[in-house]
Amino acid sequence: MDWINLESNAPCWFARTGCAPHSLTLRLRIYLITNMKLKYIIPGIASAAMLLSSCGKKEEATSTTTSQETAASTESPESTEDTPAEAPKKDLTPSATVEGWVKDMRAGRIVSLWNSMPAKYQTDVQGITRDFGAKVDSEIYNETMKTLSATSGLLKSKKDIILELAQDNSEAMGEDKVAAVKENYDAVVNLVDAIVNSDIKDTDSLKSIELTKFFGDIQPEFQKVADVAFTLAAEDEDISWMDNPKAELVSESGDTAEVKDPENNEETMKLTKVDGLWVPEEMTTDWDKNMEETRQGIAAMEGMEDMQKQQMLGGLRMVQAAIKQLDATKTKEEFQQKLMEVGQQFGPLLGGGL
């Protein structure tokens, strides 16, 4: 499975479909497990940055240890304690670099993973994100983000009612899934809230976004969801290798190296040094070509016809009105009745229900 897929854009998918938090957690769980190949970790951060920029209560920016520091640390991978970040060190061995990626992924330290990318790659991704902000239709984007923010607010304000409805539906859902909803609700909703109210909340912010700060803003909530996802994954998959990853060096010559895959020592990973930092070899092969194609795609984006645009804006505002009506309900019965009315009004748009 490629890193660029639906689960990378999970917050948008969640808000759009109205599916319960346990559904999102399950999809995130599947995503993390199926993409646990180390060679995809760093490309995945780049992909996530661009996907989140198209998705659209900011927390205080939090810096954490870099993956280079993590590789030499004895800190438990479950720890989410933050310490001041330093510039990436360029003298790490290939083995220490890969082991650091694993520990950072296990702990949900997306800032550290982002800082594992060469400066040129970071500049390319940030530039593309800003280009998208300058080119996308501001009204459509901003109204979409407003709708997602309203959805997040509703999920917060009606938490008790939603969880009560989930409990009422336990026979159909299953007690284990109801328990998962209750346990993971806050982590998932808070991550959605952090994203939609971050520096991608409108095009003005997107056009000048600093991705290091963006990842720092959402990292505290991301770490909570990552912890949930890995805890669930451990029930079905052996991820013990992530607790103490070992990437034994196979060979190293100049700016190329090969190490054993920490997940499967019978497989190896090829690495290339870029600007003093080790990255997956296949990431470097077509980087410039892929970046240029992405820039050209953004530059070629055309505005909607006025009728199509007004229809889309009208649809978004109808959703906002429905959310407002749901938020105005006082009891479980009122909420459930209004939810049924909304479902009938929008049909497949809100398929899946709460």
Domain edges within the chain: 6-148+173-308
Query: What's the confidence (pLDDT) of residue 89?
Result: 54
Q: What is the pLDDT of residue 348?
A: 55
Structure tokens that stand for 216 in this block: 């720092």
Q: Cα–Cα distance between 68 and 183 in angstroms, integer?
A: 33
Quote the pLDDT of residue 90: 72
Q: Are 10 and 187 a contacting pair, CB within 8 Å?
A: no
HSE-CB of 354 using CA atoms within 13 angstroms = 26
pTM: 0.73
What does the pLDDT profile of the chain (354 residues) look like in tens digits?
Answer: 232 332 333 333 333 333 333 333 434 443 443 344 445 455 555 555 555 544 433 333 333 444 444 444 433 334 334 433 444 457 789 999 999 999 999 999 999 999 999 999 999 999 999 999 999 999 999 999 999 999 999 999 999 999 999 999 888 888 888 888 888 899 989 999 999 999 999 999 999 999 999 999 999 999 998 888 888 788 788 888 988 999 999 999 999 999 999 998 899 999 999 999 999 999 999 999 999 999 999 999 887 889 999 999 999 999 999 999 999 999 999 999 999 998 888 765 544 444
Show the CA angle centred on residue 317, arms to residues 313 and 318, nearest 5°.
115
What's the pLDDT score for residue 67? 47
The CA distance from 75 to 57, in Å, is: 29
pLDDT of residue 15: 31
Taking the alpha carbons at both ends of the chain, their separation in whole angstroms is 28
Amino acid at 293: E
